[in-house]
């Protein structure tokens, strides 16, 4: 069965863009053909069980430019609505083939025929903005820090300080779930109590994003508990939990905004020559139905260059009939970063700062104020240093941290 | 909070071994301390929300030898029984930190205190051998090929030919789930019918491993269907489905052997300087409760060197009170590979060959015979070429494929 046809014009296929370095002695043509075979209907040797009716299922390499290879996959190869199955095909065995020295799934183009069976985000950017009553500015969030070890009462107090200081959102960190020092159920009750108090005191809507990361049915129980106790959000570690469970959380259709943390992604997204790009993860996460996803910052403590901008744009653009997704920027952000961050990524972002708020030398409340002031300076179009002149918290933050 | 103590002697901690290349200008001491901080209780800056009672939760770098770094994590950091949470800690954000140029989680040592809450494998190697009635030799399996596109009746026929030829096991491929050309429920019924026929004709026990890969609750429905229809196995794509759902499948305690395919692993296991090793995946899969897992072949179409041997040994050794796991060798295997494969990996393995059986020029049944003959030659301690002299199928295979 031929797996290459450079004259082929893709129709309603799924298209994958790969970066491919062939193994020594192998042409890129041959290696890319083997990738197309292994990820669709072929294997390393001719088999005698092939049937003539199967020809229509072959994936075909239709473009090779340098090391950029494009492959078209007929939709019949995929089970509608099954993300793990899509990944097992186009991002499965192929990374381990001896025929390739390096292989990266750079991008994936999902046609309407495949996208339409997915629910996609329940709320999307507009839905989230409606919940918070924030029309245009970036949302300001924090992560309770230290990430692990705080007892429940202290966790809730830190959340309260962040909210009254000006944060819209408080979230758990990616490795906080249900440890002895801060059990999940107690944390939900105590932290939502503090949310109520902060809402009453500030007159603003506030949200708490508890991390439900666990075995699937336990996650469902935790989400139910959050919903029953008046929570509006759930956060899940998308990669360490996996796409099967992410789809399950969305299937249940809780009245909760779904926030996806991407812990572990850089194990396979960081090497620019091998693995899977964050763009691919973001696209599949939108199909599965997350309302928010971490995309990086360009600046800050985490690696991740200008591709962050492209991902954020894609999440906010139209994609068949699925709602938009809020790009979440996090990783070493502090107030001095904000003008540049918004210049690069626009106002439709969630800004998540942990150390950049709780590390403020006047404490969490002042740190949250400083961050909100930094955001307001951009919204009001006033230079941040100018804005800081009669705003003590921002002034201190800018002295404490520089860009 | 200090995250390094080179005099520290770990007790009942979880120990992680990393390969670490610091970012330019950063010492390995400093970079490894930052990794220990980010993966436990710290962040990029001092925060003012720390409490004195938290000191006991800090992960500590306790050994640095060249680029090999060992970190001890207090058990209190982890939620018992929650694999995604463990990964989000020790294999989460750290791969994306600017402080590291490359970072690989090479190995993980799980103390009894953490392992004891996991169910582990339901059957283990002995349980699987009991089901098949095969005492000592390697199990012989095949994957129905072509991997996608065969219609159900043809799929079942190929399975039948493989079983009567001598295969113990027939499995679906990693990207076959429930596509239109071969729907799951019909496939189970038709293929299990053929299994019964093959068992009657050969007098041997045979098993079919259907791929249940999907959204979690759909997987549970498929497993129930398999169990209700007399199936004894389920196969799942562990990485593309994820650990949350894998744990869920095991929690339900079906009377099914759980076989884990590792499609996508090489996106993060292949680069020896970055990502996560297959050993770590294998250890966590045993905790979660798989009975069989793909480990590679050393030889064949897939990359993967001698570390395969270490993984296979670990899976077969004692590990607290958890049962053993059958290492599955697959990827471009054919009969000529078998003596070397068994010499390297021993007899407690499952040999899975797709192309190396269905690519036999006399067809699937002869291919299965040849493979079984190859295994028997090793068991009977007769040189494979000698053994092939009066065994036509093996003779042809050895001519067709060479090592």
Q: How many residues does chain A have?
A: 403
Calpha distance B120→B93 (Å, rounded): 27
The count of structural domains within chain B is 2
Q: How many CB atoms lie within 10 A of CB B255?
A: 10
Q: Considering the domain boundaries, does residue A18 fall inside one?
A: yes
Q: Quick one: average pLDDT of B165-180?
A: 97
Give the CATH number, domain containing residue B78: 3.30.70.150
Closest to A88 (Cα-Cα) out of B305, B170, B342, B267? B267
- pLDDT recorded at residue A403: 75
In the Cβ-directed half-sphere of B314, how many Cα atoms lie within 13 Å?
A: 21
CB contact under 8 A, B240 and A91: yes
Domain boundary among B115, B150, B166: B115
User: B118 vs A196, A241, B52, B281, B321, CA distance in Å?
Assistant: 38, 17, 32, 15, 10
Q: Considering the domain boundaries, does residue B1 fall inside one?
A: no
- pLDDT recorded at residue B251: 97
User: A114 vs A12, A81, A289, B150, CA distance in Å?
Assistant: 9, 8, 14, 21
- Cβ neighbours of residue B292 under 8 Å, at least 6 residues apart? B128, B257, B258, B259, B260, B325, B326, B327, B328, B350
Q: Which backbone phi and psi does B287 adopt, to 5 degrees?
A: -55, -50
- Cβ neighbours of residue A399 under 8 Å, at least 6 residues apart? none
Alpha-helical segments (H) within A58-148: 83-90, 112-115, 124-132
Q: Which backbone phi and psi does A100 adopt, to 5 degrees?
A: -115, 140
Tens of pLDDT, residue by residue over A12-65, are: 999 999 999 999 999 999 999 999 999 999 888 889 999 999 988 999 999 999
SS3 content of chain A, % helix, strand, coil (to 5): 45, 20, 40
Mean pLDDT of chain B: 96
Calpha distance A224→A216 (Å, rounded): 12
Q: Is the pTM of this model over 0.95?
A: yes
- pLDDT recorded at residue B273: 97
Q: Catalytic one among A70, A261, A265, A294?
A: A261
- Chain A residue closest to B246 (CA)? A215
Domain boundary among B64, B91, B115: B115
Interface test with B, best of A85, A172, A397 (most B CBs within 10 A): A85
CB of A185 within 8 Å of a chain B CB? The answer is no
Chain A residues touching residue B87 (CB < 8 angstroms): 237, 240, 263-264
Q: Considering the domain boundaries, does residue A7 fall inside one?
A: no
Q: Considering the domain boundaries, does residue A171 fall inside one?
A: yes
Q: Which residues between 104 and 163 in chain B have a beta carbon less than 8 angstroms from any beta carbon of chain A?
A: 105, 144-151, 154, 158
Residue A252 reports pLDDT greater than 90: yes
- pLDDT recorded at residue A303: 66
The answer to whether the Cα torsion of A394, A395, A396, A401 is positive or negative is positive
Structure tokens at B5: 């103590």
Q: Identify whether residues B230 and B269 lie together within a single domain.
A: yes
Tens of pLDDT, residue by residue over B25-57, are: 999 999 999 999 999 998 888 899 999 999 889
Torsion of CA A96, A101, A104, A108, to 10 degrees: -80
Q: Which helix (H) or strand (E) holds A236?
A: strand A233-237
Percent of chain B with pLDDT over 70: 99
Q: Identify whether residues B63 and B191 lie together within a single domain.
A: no
CB contact under 8 A, B244 and A78: no
- Cβ neighbours of residue A22 under 8 Å, at least 6 residues apart? A28, A30, A31, A32, A99, A100, A101
Q: Quick one: average pLDDT of A236-257?
A: 98
Q: Which helix (H) or strand (E) holds A216?
A: helix A216-228
Q: Identify whether residues A25 and A129 lie together within a single domain.
A: no
Q: Quick one: average pLDDT of B209-220?
A: 98
Q: Considering the domain boundaries, does residue B55 fall inside one?
A: yes
Q: Which backbone phi and psi does A126 adopt, to 5 degrees?
A: -65, -40
Residue A298 pLDDT class (50, 70, 90 cuts): confident
Q: Which helix (H) or strand (E) holds B385?
A: helix B384-388
Q: Quick one: average pLDDT of B315-340?
A: 96
Q: Considering the domain boundaries, does residue A30 fall inside one?
A: yes
Percent of chain A with pLDDT over 90: 94
- pLDDT recorded at residue B403: 74
- pLDDT recorded at residue B109: 98
- pLDDT recorded at residue B303: 66
Q: Identify whether residues A83 and A213 lie together within a single domain.
A: no
Residue B62 reports pLDDT greater than 70: yes
CB contact under 8 A, B302 and A93: yes
CB A329 within 8 A of CB A307: no
Q: Considering the domain boundaries, does residue A8 fall inside one?
A: no
Q: Identify whether residues B74 and B212 lie together within a single domain.
A: no
Calpha distance B331→B79 (Å, rounded): 36
SS3 content of chain B, % helix, strand, coil (to 5): 45, 20, 40
Calpha distance B154→A215 (Å, rounded): 37
- pLDDT recorded at residue A304: 66
- pLDDT recorded at residue B301: 67
DSSP, residue by residue, A330-352? ESS--GGGHHHHHHHH-SS-EEE
Calpha distance A89→B263 (Å, rounded): 8
Chain A residues touching residue B40 (CB < 8 angstroms): 147-148
Q: Quick one: average pLDDT of B100-121?
A: 97
Closest to A140 (Cα-Cα) out of A172, A100, A167? A167
Q: Quick one: average pLDDT of B216-226?
A: 98
Could you give the ipTM of this predicted complex? 0.97
Tens of pLDDT, residue by residue over B345-373, are: 999 999 999 999 999 999 999 999 999 99
| Angle subtended at Cα A40 by Cα A57 and Cα B179, rounded to the nearest 5 degrees | 65
A116 belongs to the catalytic site: no
Range of the domain at A339: 124-400
CB contact under 8 A, B97 and A301: yes
Task: Give the distance from CA A64 to its chain's centroid.
Answer: 30
Q: Identify whether residues B365 and B297 lie together within a single domain.
A: yes
Q: Which residue is associated with the tokens 């919903």?
A: A227
CB of A399 within 8 Å of a chain B CB? The answer is no
Give the CATH number, domain containing residue B383: 3.20.20.110
Q: Identify whether residues A233 and A258 lie together within a single domain.
A: yes
Q: Quick one: average pLDDT of B94-119?
A: 96
Comparing B299 with B197, which gets the higher pLDDT?
B197
Calpha distance A122→A233 (Å, rounded): 12
> Beta strand A68-73 with A14-22: parallel, antiparallel or unpaired?
antiparallel
CB B121 within 8 A of CB B325: yes
Q: Identify whether residues A133 and A30 lie together within a single domain.
A: no
Maximum Cα–Cα distance across chain B: 79
Q: Identify whether residues B17 and B147 lie together within a single domain.
A: no
Alpha-helical segments (H) within B108-261: 112-115, 124-132, 152-165, 184-202, 216-228, 238-241, 243-251
DSSP, residue by residue, A46-77? --TT--GGGGGG--EEEEEETTEEEEEE-GGG
Closest to B95 (Cα-Cα) out of A63, A141, A76, A271? A271
Q: Identify whether residues B99 and B146 lie together within a single domain.
A: no
The alpha carbons of chain A give a radius of gyration, in whole angstroms, of: 23
- pLDDT recorded at residue A306: 82
Task: Give the distance from CA A21 to its chain's centroid.
Answer: 28
Calpha distance A211→A216 (Å, rounded): 13
- Cβ neighbours of residue B66 under 8 Å, at least 6 residues apart? none
Q: Catalytic one among B3, B145, B232, B259?
A: B145
Q: Considering the domain boundaries, does residue B235 fall inside one?
A: yes
User: A84 vs A375, B54, B88, B186, B237, CA distance in Å?
Assistant: 39, 39, 20, 21, 8
Work out the minimum CA distance from A303 to partner chain B, whole angstroms. Answer: 5
Residue A233 reports pLDDT greater than 70: yes
Domain boundary among B86, B115, B144: B115
- Chain B residue closest to A330 (CA)? B93
A155 belongs to the catalytic site: no
Closest to B51 (Cα-Cα) out of A84, A233, A150? A150
Q: Which residue is associated with the tokens 């491929």?
A: B173
List, edge to edge, every strand of the sheet that includes A60-65: A60-65, A68-73, A14-22, A100-109, A275-276
- pLDDT recorded at residue B306: 82
> Beta strand B326-330 with B292-294: parallel, antiparallel or unpaired?
parallel
Q: Identify whether residues A209 and A339 lie together within a single domain.
A: yes
**Three-state SS sequence of A164-197:** HHCCCEEECCCCCCCCCCCCHHHHHHHHHHHHHH
Comparing CB atoms, the residue among B50, B88, B181 nearest residue A76 is B181
Task: Give the distance from CA B61 to its chain's centroid.
Answer: 29
Tens of pLDDT, residue by residue over B257-316, are: 999 999 999 999 999 999 999 999 999 999 999 999 999 988 876 666 789 999 999 999
Calpha distance B340→B95 (Å, rounded): 36
Q: Quick one: average pLDDT of A109-133?
A: 97
Residue B234 reports pLDDT greater than 70: yes
Q: Identify whether residues A131 and A98 lie together within a single domain.
A: no
Calpha distance B201→A376 (Å, rounded): 78
């Amino acid at each position: 069965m031929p797996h290459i046809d450079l004259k082929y014009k893709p129709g309603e296929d799924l298209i994958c863009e790969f970066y491919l370095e062939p193994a020594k002695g192998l042409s890129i043509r041959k290696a890319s053909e083997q990738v197309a075979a292994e990820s669709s209907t072929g294997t390393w040797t001719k088999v005698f069980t092939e049937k003539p009716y199967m020809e229509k299922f072959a994936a075909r390499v239709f473009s090779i430019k340098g090391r950029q290879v494009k492959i078209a996959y007929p939709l019949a190869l995929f089970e509608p609505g099954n993300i793990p199955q899509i990944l097992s095909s186009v991002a499965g065995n192929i990374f381990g083939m001896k025929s390739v020295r390096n292989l990266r799934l750079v991008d994936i183009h999902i046609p309407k025929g495949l996208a339409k069976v997915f629910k996609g985000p329940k709320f999307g950017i507009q839905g989230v903005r409606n919940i918070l009553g924030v029309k245009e500015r970036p949302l300001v969030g924090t992560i309770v820090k230290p990430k692990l070890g705080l007892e429940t009462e202290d966790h809730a107090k830190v959340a309260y300080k962040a909210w009254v200081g000006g944060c819209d959102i408080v979230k758990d960190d990616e490795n906080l779930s249900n440890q002895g020092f801060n059990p999940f159920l107690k944390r939900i009750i105590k932290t939502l109590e503090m949310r109520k108090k902060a809402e009453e005191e500030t007159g603003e809507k506030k949200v708490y994003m508890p991390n439900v990361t666990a075995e699937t049915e336990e996650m469902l129980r935790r989400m139910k508990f959050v919903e029953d106790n008046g929570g509006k959000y759930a956060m899940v570690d998308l990669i360490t939990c996996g796409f099967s469970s992410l789809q399950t959380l969305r299937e249940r259709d809780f009245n909760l905004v779904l926030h996806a943390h991407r812990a572990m992604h850089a194990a396979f997204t960081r090497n620019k020559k091998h693995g899977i790009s964050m763009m691919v993860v973001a696209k599949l996460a939108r199909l599965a139905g997350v309302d928010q996803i971490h995309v990086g910052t360009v600046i800050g403590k985490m690696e991740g260059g200008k591709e962050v901008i492209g991902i954020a744009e894609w999440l906010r653009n139209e994609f068949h009939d699925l709602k938009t997704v809020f790009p979440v920027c996090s990783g070493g952000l502090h107030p001095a970063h904000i003008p540049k961050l918004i210049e690069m990524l626009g106002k439709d972002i969630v800004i998540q700062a942990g150390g950049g708020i709780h590390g403020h030398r006047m404490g969490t409340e002042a740190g949250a104020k400083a961050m909100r002031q930094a955001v307001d300076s951009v919204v009001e179009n006033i230079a941040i240093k100018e804005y800081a002149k009669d705003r003590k918290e921002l002034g201190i933050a800018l002295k404490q941290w520089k860009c």
